[in-house]
Amino acid sequence: MNICRVFVRKMSQEKKWEPLRKVGIIGVPFEKGQKKYGVSVAPAALRAAGLIEKLKEIEGLDVKDYGDIETPGIKEVNVANMDHLALVSACNKHLSACVTQVLKDNRIAVTIGGDHSIGLGTVDGHYKVNNDMILIWVDAHADINTNKTSDSGSVHGMPVALLVKEFSNYWPYLPTMDWQDVVFSIKSLGYIGLRSVDNFERLAIEKYKVPTFAMEDVEEHGIKNSIQHVLQALDPTNSRPIHVSFDIDALDALEAPSTGTPVRGGLTLREAINLMEIVYATGRLRAIDLVEINPAIGNEKDRQQTIDAGLCILKAALGFSRRGTAPRGVLDLPIQDPHKPSQ
């Protein structure tokens, strides 16, 4: 039997994944998912630091800026221990539609927060286009509290719990949230970088066996094995689109001090870059969120360091190589005539 031919046929049936070389940037100046002032300034601060230009420098990358999502003032609703739900809901409804549009334009959706409550809209919008997507939540926190289990009442600690269909019995009726179809499964979720996990969050992770590499596990296995393990657990056939929701507080507070809920003992920037390089190399990254950069926290150096770290993470996710990239289609260095003066 011609095993070889069967193998070749099987290979050619498998979808080949190439990194998408087109991206769409969405800014979300939203901060009502938590209590501190400043995280809404991040999209402007990143743009001022050259976000668009720096991404355009990546060889072959086509970058389109879709502008910012604005959230007009709105009448609040009353849900126990859940601050500003109506505003969070309005912002995410709009954001979800925008992410869907970027993906339909055949671009990777790059969303700049904003606090992490906006993960609700980015994942909702992504799922509408790729319902086989997997979600990698890179964070110091699990963000899987309900209004019953949260100590803070801040929705940036709840987006994962709002997203997953397995949690429907853990929520009351949530006014203003009727736009959301809760269809994403917790079976498609994995965590990297955790080190501040509330009791009920830990219970949820164990109950639903969420592939989780908390900092102790990253310590034991290294970042490369950690991400590969999560990807393998969620998608053993390497065939599902990837969404990374990256909270800057996944980095050690020394690497990214300008954030609202910093925790020491986190990822180094090198580990975060390596993580994103590995995700890029799969060719399957379709959406990335970068959230919780708060330029109003710390001094000028803290601010710059945090924004710079965020830019490094985005660049690694979108194909920047630390090895360098030779100019495309050029085979030699520029020739000069040794008998003539320079021109």
- Applying CB under 6 A, the span of 54-62, 101-109, 122-130, 144-152 interacting with ligand ARG comes to 144-152
From the list 35-43, 133-141, 182-190, 324-332, the region that binds Mn ion by CB under 5 A is 133-141
Residue with tokens 């020394």: 254
Is the separation of the CB atoms in 87 and 157 below 8 Å?
Answer: no
DSSP-derived letter for residue 20 is -
How many residues in the shown chain lie near Mn ion by CB under 5 A? 4
Burial class for 70, CB neighbours closer than 10 Å (0-12, 13-18, 19+): exposed
Cα angle for residues 262, 263, 265 (degrees, 5° grid): 140
Please tell me whether 181 is known to bind a ligand.
no
Q: Which of residues 149-188 bind ligand ARG (CB under 6 A)?
A: 150, 152, 154, 156-157
Q: Taking a C-beta distance cutoff of 8 angstroms, is the pair 285, 279 a contact?
A: yes
Residue type, 64: K
Residue 83 binds Mn ion, judged by CB under 5 A: no
Q: Is 151 annotated as a binding residue?
A: no
Q: How far is the CB of 37 from ligand ARG (least distance, A)?
A: 15
Instruction: Transcribe 85-118 into DSSP letters.
Output: HHHHHHHHHHHHHHHHHHHHTT-EEEEEESSGGG
CB of 223 to ligand ARG, least distance (A): 20
Cα distance between residue 230 and residue 328, in whole Å? 34
Least separation in angstroms between residue 17's CB and ligand ARG is: 30
Which residue is at the shortest CB distance from ligand ARG?
157
Q: Which is nearer to Mn ion, 143 or 217 (CB)?
A: 143
Measured CA to CA in angstroms, residue 259 lies from 203, 305, 337 at distances of: 26, 11, 55
In the complex with ligand ARG, the residue whose CB is nearer, 84 or 156, is 156
**Are 57 and 142 in contact, with CB atoms under 8 Å apart?**
no
Minimum gap (Å) between residue 29 Cβ and ligand ARG:
16
- Segment interacting with Mn ion (CB under 5 A) among 73-81, 140-148, 278-286, 304-312: 140-148
Which 99-128 positions form the footprint of Mn ion (CB under 5 A)? 116
Residue 229, marked binder: no
Find out whether 151 and 198 touch, Cβ atoms under 8 Å: yes
Nearer of residues 34 and 100 to ligand ARG, judged by Cβ: 34
Give the whole-angstrom CA distance, residue 158 versus residue 89: 12
Determine the Cα–Cα distance for residues 8 and 21; give it in Å rounded to an integer: 27
What residues are designated binding site for Mn(2+)? 116, 139, 141, 143, 247, 249
What residues are designated binding site? 116, 139, 141, 143, 247, 249
Where along the sequence are the contacts to Mn ion (CB under 5 A)?
116, 139, 143, 247
Where along the sequence are the contacts to ligand ARG (CB under 6 A)?
116, 141, 143, 145, 150, 152, 154, 156-157, 198, 247, 249, 261, 292
